[in-house]
Amino acid sequence: MPPRSGRPRRPDLRALRAALPEPVRAVVTGYERHLGLERGLSAHTVRAYVGDAVSLLGFVVDGGGGLAELDLARLRAWLAVQQSGGASRTTLARRAASARTFTAWAHRTGVLAADPGGRLAAPRAHRTLPGVLRAGQAEEVMRASAAGAAQRDPVALRDRAMVELLYATGIRVSELCGLDVGGADFSRRVVTVLGKGGKERVVPFGVPAAEALTAWIDEGRPKIVAESGGDSPEPALFLGVRGKRVDPRTVRRVVHDAVTAVPGAADMGPHGLRHSAATHLLEGGADLRSVQELLGHATLATTQLYTHVTVDRLKAIHDRAHPRA
């Protein structure tokens, strides 16, 4: 399949890693172990950080140097090559931060005599406002999902429950896929999810999500388990058609189909429902700290992005409605 237009082809990082000299590969392996076991980062984050380290070290080795030659000039040259290859400011900022993480670890463990990343600057990332549904559009998405589940098809019941729970809680798609049956407490209407860095948090959900979950657990899930013929069924709350834990790609497709069924709604996936939930909470009067806890953000600064969304909406309403706008 050809790459999407406007997006540079991602290099084969496994091939790049295999091409590194053995001592350098050993350093990469130690760094990977540090990220996953000592810092407890998610598998996705570890892959991103290790991929950036491999790219950086491959650049240094291809230039005829080794680990000892990794200095500020080479860090800047590595970023410059990526910028000329079409990397965005946001991508450059992320990779610069990733390089600083690696060089700090390498210096702390004695791999590097000094930490060149401490002086590495990068362009400030654009804080793009997330696309969100209007409250009325979100209601239409939920109604469309409920209508699809009216025939009690097990997959449709599952899809409705996933869409309702994503919007009701604002949890990440990885957190949804990681849920087990025992993770939902219907007496208190909360789910216990495992977020980034292995941090556990409890998130409430409302009556519509509870109804959708109950229909899935009582009617839909047993049918999929029976049809898949599994003697020891998965503990996962949400299952694929073969009886295994649902895949994030399936969830993204389900959300995409549900949202595109609503005329005028922006195309989005599960993260768009997370953005929408956060924005609607703030518009409804929730305080920023509570929304931070619900979303599992490590810092309040990340949650504050949603305040810009609500201010922009207020400005748009003001421009349309106020006689002196």
Of 88, 119, 150, the last residue of a domain is 119
Do 168 and 97 share a domain, yes or no? no
Q: Which of 76, 196, 201, 244 is catalytic?
A: 196
How far is the C-alpha of 54 from the C-alpha of 42, rounded, in Å? 18
Q: Which of 31, 49, 167, 306 is catalytic?
A: 306
**What per-residue string of b and e applies to 233-256 under the rule 16 or more CB within 10 Å gives b?**
bbebbbbbeebeebebebbeebbe
Q: What are the backbone angles phi and psi of residue 248, rounded to the nearest 5°?
A: -55, -35
Beta carbons of 270 and 255 less than 8 angstroms apart: yes
Residue 8 covered by a domain: no
In the block, tokens 């990440």 appear at: 172
Q: Give the CATH number of the domain where residue 106 resides.
A: 1.10.150.130
Beta-carbon count within 10 A of 225 CB: 15
Provide the domain limits for residue 21. 13-119
Q: Which of 34, 172, 221, 275 is catalytic?
A: 172
Residue 7 covered by a domain: no
Residue 172 catalytic?
A: yes
How far is the C-alpha of 90 from the C-alpha of 32, rounded, in Å? 23
Do 46 and 177 share a domain, yes or no? no
How far is the C-alpha of 138 from the C-alpha of 268, rounded, in Å? 12
Do 109 and 139 share a domain, yes or no? no
- What 8-state DSSP symbol labels residue 67? G
Do 115 and 148 share a domain, yes or no? no
DSSP string, 167-218: HHH---HHHHHT-BGGGEETTTTEEEEE-GGG-EEEEE--HHHHHHHHHIII
Residue 124 covered by a domain: no
Q: Which of 95, 221, 274, 280 is catalytic?
A: 274
Q: Measuring CA to CA, which residue among 155, 129, 109, 138 is closest to residue 309?
A: 129
Beta carbons of 225 and 243 less than 8 angstroms apart: yes
Confidence at residue 7, expressed as pLDDT on a 0 to 100 scale: 42
Do 107 and 150 share a domain, yes or no? no
Residue 250 covered by a domain: yes
pLDDT in tens, 173-216: 999 999 999 899 999 999 999 887 778 899 999 999 999 999 99
Tell me if the pTM is above 0.75.
no
Q: Is 265 exposed, middle or buried (0-12, 13-18, 19+ CB in 10 A)?
A: buried
Of 93, 119, 145, the last residue of a domain is 119
How far is the C-alpha of 159 from the C-alpha of 176, rounded, in Å? 12
How far is the C-alpha of 207 from the C-alpha of 186, rounded, in Å? 10
Do 174 and 107 share a domain, yes or no? no
Residue 315 covered by a domain: yes
Do 279 and 181 share a domain, yes or no? yes
How far is the C-alpha of 18 from the C-alpha of 14, rounded, in Å? 6
Confidence at residue 192, expressed as pLDDT on a 0 to 100 scale: 93
Beta carbons of 151 and 219 less than 8 angstroms apart: no
Residue 196 catalytic?
A: yes
Do 315 and 181 share a domain, yes or no? yes
Task: State the SS3 of 126-165.
Answer: CCCCCCCCCHHHHHHHHHHHHHHCCCCCHHHHHHHHHHHH
Residue 322 CB-half CA count within 13 A: 8
Of 92, 119, 146, the last residue of a domain is 119
Do 96 and 225 share a domain, yes or no? no
Q: Which of 17, 158, 160, 297 is catalytic?
A: 297
Do 281 and 141 share a domain, yes or no? yes
Q: Which of 94, 223, 256, 271 is catalytic?
A: 271
Residue 33 catalytic?
A: no
Residue 211 covered by a domain: yes
Q: Give the CATH number of the domain where residue 225 resides.
A: 1.10.443.10
Do 162 and 71 share a domain, yes or no? no
Q: Measuring CA to CA, which residue among 80, 223, 237, 252 is closest to residue 149?
A: 223
Confidence at residue 10, expressed as pLDDT on a 0 to 100 scale: 54
Low-confidence ranges of the chain (pLDDT < 50): 1-9
Q: In what order do the strands lie in the sheet with 184-185?
A: 184-185, 190-194, 200-204
Confidence at residue 143, expressed as pLDDT on a 0 to 100 scale: 93
Confidence at residue 85, expressed as pLDDT on a 0 to 100 scale: 87
Residue 160 catalytic?
A: no
Residue 168 covered by a domain: yes
The structural domain count of the chain equals 2
Residue 6 covered by a domain: no
Beta carbons of 115 and 75 less than 8 angstroms apart: no
Do 143 and 111 share a domain, yes or no? no
